[in-house]
Chain A
């Protein structure tokens, strides 16, 4: 089966840096996605990691270690609008299905 763990909630200060971790155990691992979801809205794509290493995209970066079953999303220069849930999702080879973690609710305070 699949098991994906991420913290339930995190709080950070505007302008700071926050790292949201995700660990996974799955068969047929293909890659790992991060999505952002504001309350009551649809998830929006942030990043996709297939190979080990860091992918940087503006204020957001995502890291993957396939051997350790570990990923993190790094948010820099936090803004109030970054308050949202961040979903880690594992892509499996068969059927391009995604298995989602429970999401991490990030609250950014002034």
Chain B
């Protein structure tokens, strides 16, 4: 079945540790995105990538890093520099078409708790 997977669903880390969240898609989508969602709030864009080996900062990139070595994969690293990392992290992908809006499809999310 085609879809977007994120693992793990729940993740606990100690303060000061880097942690990498996985995002994989087999939809053959060009574009991938990472969002953060805090309780009772909307989604905020962290990073996005429109093509392999290229990515751009979103609205709240500080303290995060990404890579896009393969079309299917877009891992997000939450570094110790992120001041308040506890949140729900959502990965999305879309069949990017230049200059056109296209539907983004979301993975199930990873809930990160930093102790």
Instruction: Count residues on chain B whose CB falls below 8 Å from chain A CBs.
Output: 30
- Count of inter-chain pairs, beta carbons less than 8 A: 65
Return the contact of A41 from the options B50, B105, B108 (Cβ within 8 A): B108
Check B108 against A42 for contact (C-beta < 8 Å).
yes
Binary flags per residue of A81-110, CB closer than 8 Å to B gives 1, else 0: 000000101010101111111110100000
Residues of A near B41 (CB, < 8 A) are 102-103
Check B45 against A98 for contact (C-beta < 8 Å).
yes
Q: How far is it, in angstroms, between the C-alpha of A93 and the C-alpha of B111 when the chains are bound?
A: 30
Check B101 against A50 for contact (C-beta < 8 Å).
yes
Shortest Cβ distance from B9 into chain A, in angstroms? 10
Shortest Cβ distance from B39 into chain A, in angstroms? 10
Check B109 against A101 for contact (C-beta < 8 Å).
no
Check A48 against B100 for contact (C-beta < 8 Å).
no
Check A103 against B108 for contact (C-beta < 8 Å).
no
Q: Interface range on chain A: under 10, 10 to 19, 20 to 34, or 35 or more?
A: 20 to 34
Q: Is A7 an interface residue (CB 8 A)?
A: no
Given contacts A96-B101, A97-B48, is CB(A42)–CB(B107) below 8 Å?
yes
Shortest Cβ distance from A2 into B: residue: B59
Check A87 against B90 for contact (C-beta < 8 Å).
no
Question: A: which residues have CB within 8 A of B?
Answer: 4, 8, 30-31, 33, 40-45, 48, 50, 87, 89, 91, 93, 95-103, 105
Return the contact of B31 from the options A8, A43, A96 (Cβ within 8 A): A96
Q: How far is it, in angstroms, between the C-alpha of A96 and the C-alpha of B40 when the chains are bound?
A: 25
Check A102 against B42 for contact (C-beta < 8 Å).
yes
Check A48 against B109 for contact (C-beta < 8 Å).
no
Check A43 against B103 for contact (C-beta < 8 Å).
no
Q: How far is it, in angstroms, between the C-alpha of A42 and the C-alpha of B105 when the chains are bound?
A: 9
Residues of A near B114 (CB, < 8 A) are none
